[in-house]
């Protein structure tokens, strides 16, 4: 660790305030170029503690930058991990208020819901499939707190990997009932298809992202509890949205989910 605990708390407060007030800021590595990975996750953890103290509840976790399309879009080369709160959840078909966000983008994802605890180290695709209750289509709304979505990996980790909102819906499927590598996804904005892909875009199999998450958490002494919702990462590039937009995700054999931006 390179940063003092006061600096970590101050950065967590800065990013938390940006999220609450829908204000952007410069990426934090500009002012703290020597911060390391532990510092980045420590800022994320401090922000999570602040939000939980205000009454939010954990509902699960997310993996991000798990596909080449996303890594290319953001100019980075490793996955990152964050947490999901109940306050991020939008009902299927519901409305997402743009005024609460800075510059939202949507991503098509496969969500996993667990029925058993998942624990690293040594967690693998098989452990994830065995612990999965069901998989379900999900749209993640990301909203980097950094100006113009410009960041490096440590800054985005501190910012809870741009997590902002999500919606899940459609047909829940047993993980064994669908080939998550070949399953096709179509993201539509205002009725027009805007992004397409197949599950294998995410680390060859979306469950691999969940295994990486469990192994990552184990290094911090944390596990994925039963009943967690996990977003496995955008299959395509993220698509910008504004008030008035309607977004629908169709996943082959798994129905659709969507939200309106108001
Ligand atoms: C970081 C979060 C990326 C995903 O699914 O790849 C992410 C960002 O692009 O702002 O959630
Ligand atoms: Mg995502």
Ligand 1 pocket mutation pick from 104, 107, 139 by most atoms within 8 angstroms of CB: 107
Q: What pLDDT is recorded for position 115?
A: 98
Asked if the bond preceding 121 is cis, omega within 30° of 0, the reply is yes
What's the total number of domains in the chain?
A: 1
- What's the token pair of residue 11? 């950065």
Residue 72 alpha carbon to ligand 1 centre in Å: 11
**220 within a domain of the structure (yes/no):** yes
**How do beta strands 163-168 and 132-142 pair?**
antiparallel
Asked whether residue 143 is domain-assigned, the answer is yes
What global pTM score does this model have? 0.97
**C-alpha 231 – ligand 2 centre gap (Å):** 7
Identify which of 24, 68, 71, 74 to mutate to test ligand 1's pocket (most ligand atoms within 8 A of the CB).
74
d(CA 50, CA 43): 11
Identify the residues whose C-beta falls under 6 Å from ligand 1.
64-66, 70, 74, 107, 140, 142, 144, 156, 161-162, 233-234
- Could you give phi then psi for residue 4, rounded to 5 degrees? -75, 160
- Residue 160 in any domain: the answer is yes
> What is the distance, to the nearest Å, from the Cα of residue 17 to the centroid of all Cα atoms in its chain?
19
pLDDT at 78: 87
Q: Which of 195, 236, 205, 206 is nearest to 72 (CA)?
A: 236
In a domain, 148, yes or no: yes
Residue 100 lies in a domain: yes
pLDDT digit string (tens) for the chain, length 262 residues: 999 999 999 999 999 999 999 999 999 999 999 999 999 999 999 999 999 999 999 999 999 999 988 888 888 888 999 999 999 999 999 999 999 999 999 999 999 999 999 999 999 999 999 999 999 999 999 999 999 999 999 999 999 999 999 999 999 999 989 999 999 999 999 999 999 999 999 999 999 999 999 999 999 899 999 999 999 999 999 999 999 999 999 999 999 999 999 9
- From 259, 82, 57, 239, select the one nearest 153 (Cα to Cα): 82
Residue ID of nearest Cα to ligand 1 atom 7:
64
Question: pLDDT value at position 75?
Answer: 83
Looking up tokens 């629908």 gives 248
Ligand 1 atom, smallest distance to 73 CA: 9
Is 244 inside a domain boundary?
Answer: yes
Contact 231, 140 (CB under 8 A): yes
Range of the domain at 70: 57-261
Task: Answer whether residue 137 is part of any domain.
Answer: yes
DSSP string, the chain: --S-HHHHHHHHHHHHHHHHHT--B--GGGT-TT--HHHHHHHHHHHHHHHHHTT--EEEEEEES-BHHHHHHHT--S-EEEEEEGGGB--TT-EE-GGG-SS-EEEEEEEEEESS-B--SS--HHHHHHHEEEEEEEEEEE--SBGGG---HHHHHHTGGGEEEEEE-S--B-GGGS-TTT-EEEEEETTEEEEEEEGGGBTTSHHHHHHHHHHHHHTTT--B-TT-EEE---SS--EE--TT-EEEEEETTS-EEEEEE-
Contact 248, 188 (CB under 8 A): yes
CATH of the domain at 228: 3.90.850.10
Residue nearest to atom 4 of ligand 1 (CA): 64
Q: Supply the pLDDT for residue 141.
A: 98
């Amino acid at each position: 660790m390179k940063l003092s605990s006061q600096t970590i708390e101050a950065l967590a407060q800065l990013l938390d305030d940006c999220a609450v007030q829908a204000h952007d800021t410069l990426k934090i590595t500009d002012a703290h170029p020597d911060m390391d990975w532990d510092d980045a996750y420590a800022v994320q953890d401090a922000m999570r503690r602040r939000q939980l103290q205000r009454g939010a509840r954990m509902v699960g976790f997310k993996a991000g930058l798990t596909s080449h399309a996303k890594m290319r879009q953001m100019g980075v080369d490793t996955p990152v991990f964050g947490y999901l709160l109940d306050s991020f959840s939008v009902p299927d078909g519901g409305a997402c208020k743009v005024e609460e966000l800075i510059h939202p983008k949507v991503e098509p994802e496969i969500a996993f819901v667990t029925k058993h605890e998942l624990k690293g180290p040594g967690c693998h695709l098989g452990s994830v499939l065995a612990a999965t209750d069901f998989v379900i289509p999900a749209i993640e709304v990301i909203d980097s707190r950094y100006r113009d979505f410009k960041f490096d990996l440590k800054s985005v980790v501190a910012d809870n990997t741009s997590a902002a909102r999500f919606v899940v819906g459609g047909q829940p499927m047993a993980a064994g009932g669908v080939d998550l590598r070949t399953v096709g996804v179509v993201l539509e904005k205002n009725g027009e298809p805007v992004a397409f892909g197949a599950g294998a875009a995410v680390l060859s199999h979306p469950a691999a992202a969940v295994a990486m998450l469990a192994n990552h958490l184990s290094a911090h002494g944390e596990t994925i509890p039963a009943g967690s919702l996990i977003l496995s990462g955008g299959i395509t590039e993220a698509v910008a949205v504004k008030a008035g937009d309607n977004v629908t995700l169709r996943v082959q054999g798994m129905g659709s989910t969507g939200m309106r931006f108001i």
